[in-house]
Every structure is written in C-alpha cells, then in structure tokens.
Amino acid sequence: MPRKHASSTKHRVVLSAAAAALLALAGCGPAAIPAPDTNGTATAASPLPGSHVHGIAVSGETSQVLLATHDGLFDVTTAPATKIGATNDLMGFTPGPSDGVFYASGHPGPGSDLPNPLGLLKTSDGGETWEPLSRQGESDFHALTATQAGIVAFDGVLRTSPDGTAWTTVAADFAPAVLAGHPDSTTVLATTQDGIQRSTDAGSTWTPLDNGPVIQFAAFAHPAEAVGVEPDGTVHYSADAGETWAEKGRIGADVLAIAALKGEDGRPWIWAATADGVIASTDGGMTFRPADAD
C-alpha cells in the first residue's frame, strides 16, 4: 500500500470515525490490492474482527491498517488480525498529529477498571496503552476528530478543546454522525441527515453546505482534499476541502467507516471497512478492490 506522497504535510495517519447511524440507518507490511471486479465494486474475502466497527485508520508511513471496534483495536494489515491493547468499546476514534497517536472514547470492556463512559483517552504508542485525558464518567464521544487547533467531539453536545482537557461548548443546531478533520488544517466537516455542515475555524462556527451531497461518512486525504460516501455507497470527492463535490464510483457493500490518504500518484487513496471486510481504491474512488494482506 502507499507511502506518503511527497507533497503531503506532516500528517502521518488518516481516519474517519464511523457513526452508528445516519438517516435512520442503523486494516507491518504493505497490503496487496487484487484486481477489481467488472462493475467497480468489491467485497473483501475476510470478515472483520470485532462485533462492530466504529473507525478505520491507515498509516502513511507504514501502511498499517487499524480498525476501532466494539471489542477494541485491531491491526488488520496481516491475517489473522492482531489485537492491540485492552478490550474497550471504541465508539469514537481518531488519529492525532503524529504516527502512533490516537484519541478515543466509548465504554470500558469486561474486567476494565476505567469509568463508564470513558471520556477522552489518548495513546502515544499505537494503542498499546491509553491515558485518560478528561470527562471520564461523563462523555461518550461517538463523533471525534483532531484538527490543527485541537479536538472536536460530540457526546450529545458539540465541544472543542485545544488539548483534550479543557472544553468549550459550541452552539450547534445539528447532531453530527461523523466529524472529519485533518491535523494540518482547521477545516472540519460534519455529516448530518440534512447534509454537510462545514467549519473553517476548528469547529467553533459552522455553515451548512448548500447543494452538497448528503453523505454518511467523510475523511480528509489532505488538508485540501476530502472524500465522502452516501448511505447507498456512492463516493464523492472534493478538491477544495469540502466546499464542492464531484461524484465518483460506488461501493457495493454496507460501509462502516472510511479513511483516505494522498497516494503516490497524487490522487486520493481510499479505504472502507465494510460488513464483509476492508476494501480500497487507488483511483480516487472510481473502483474498489479487496485490501487483502500479502
């Protein structure tokens, strides 16, 4: 799988955290991508680990593919998948500004002595150990992302934080299913049942996107490039950080989470965790193929 494109910035990992529902709806070596099927859609051969997948992350440095699930964090770069760290329900999950740094939220797993809900947790060793930062016993952030200015999160209330410890409540009249940001940008996208909400000041103020697609999942491949997937699997691409969108291909399986990275050829490379496994696109979302391990 790809190494980081020369024009990309210090951002090393990308992720979009998947919401449980929208519109009343309800994976170190490089991974190989077999040839696509004839209609441009694909179903991966291997099932996903964990009973529910809430997020996917891909490293631009190592090509490691991680899945945040109801049963903890898994590396699905190799088969079988490898469990990383403790078993906690990672409802919210997003990468930080450097490789191996992640933020998460959710609920403690069996035998855990962590409070419920988890509040905001941070790992600096790729998920092996987690440090509680704030709001333990108070917040279950289902939507969570990191920006150049800090953290944007939703636990029933939209909140921002410069460091993950002190929080500011944001006045918002929408409930985001997914929050998508980039550690090298202050632009954030929020997916809602009424369409995309967009912020250019790290989540402090928001503007609804007129005439944009109603997407369920969103991710940034680069500070200026975003991808989105509708509930029916239709893929969209934005070259201006979510201001305008162009329709691309379609994913022919139920999508649970997406991630994006700027590929060696300059086009966004996209990964999607589906109900059947992880699939990937190296042509900007026109076609998808199983991201099976070597």
**Domain containing residue 36:** 13-290
Q: Does any domain span residue 6?
A: no
Residues 65-92 as b/e (b if ≥16 CB within 10 A, e otherwise) read bbbbbbbbbbbbbeeebebbbbbbbbbb
Contacts of 291 (CB under 8 A, 6+ apart): 1, 27, 31, 32, 33, 44, 65, 271, 277, 278, 279, 280
Q: Taking CA 76 as the corner, what is the angle to CA 72 and CA 77, rounded to the nearest 5 degrees?
A: 145
Q: Dihedral through CA 262, CA 264, CA 266, CA 272, nearest 10?
A: -40
Burial of 231 per CB tally in 10 Å (0-12, 13-18, 19+):
middle
Q: How far is Cα 33 from Cα 187, in angstroms, rounded to an integer?
A: 31
Q: Does any domain span residue 261?
A: yes
Q: How far is Cα 284 from Cα 227, in angstroms, rounded to an integer?
A: 9
Q: Does any domain span residue 8?
A: no
Q: How far is Cα 160 from Cα 9, in angstroms, rounded to an integer?
A: 23
Question: Which pLDDT score, from 0 to 100, does residue 44 have?
Answer: 40
What is residue 235's three-state secondary structure?
A: strand
**Count: domains in the chain:** 1
Which amino acid, 257? A
Give, for all 294 residues of the chain, the pLDDT tens digit: 444 433 333 344 444 443 333 322 223 322 333 333 323 443 344 478 987 999 999 998 888 999 999 999 999 998 899 999 999 999 999 999 999 999 999 999 998 999 999 999 999 999 999 999 999 999 999 999 999 999 999 999 999 999 999 999 999 999 999 999 999 999 999 999 999 999 999 999 999 999 999 999 999 999 999 999 999 999 999 999 999 999 999 999 999 999 999 998 899 999 999 998 999 999 999 999 998 744
> What residues are paired with 260 via a beta bridge?
270
HSE at residue 63, side-chain half, CA atoms within 13 A, is 20
Q: Does any domain span residue 1?
A: no
Q: Which two tokens stand for residue 50?
A: 């964990």
Q: Does any domain span residue 140?
A: yes
**Would you call the peptide bond into 117 cis, given omega within 30 degrees of 0 as the criterion?**
yes
Q: Which two tokens stand for residue 222?
A: 């680069």
Contact 271, 31 (CB under 8 A): no
What does each C-alpha distance from 29 to 33, 91, 94, 189, 263 come to in angstroms? 13, 27, 22, 31, 16
Contact 238, 189 (CB under 8 A): no
Q: Does any domain span residue 3?
A: no
Comparing CA positions, the residue from 185, 193, 281 lying closest to residue 225 is: 185
Q: Does any domain span residue 5?
A: no
Q: Does any domain span residue 4?
A: no
Q: Which two tokens stand for residue 173?
A: 């009249």
Q: What is the pairing mode between strands 150-154 and 143-147?
A: antiparallel
CATH number reported for the structural domain that contains residue 209 in this entry = 2.130.10.10
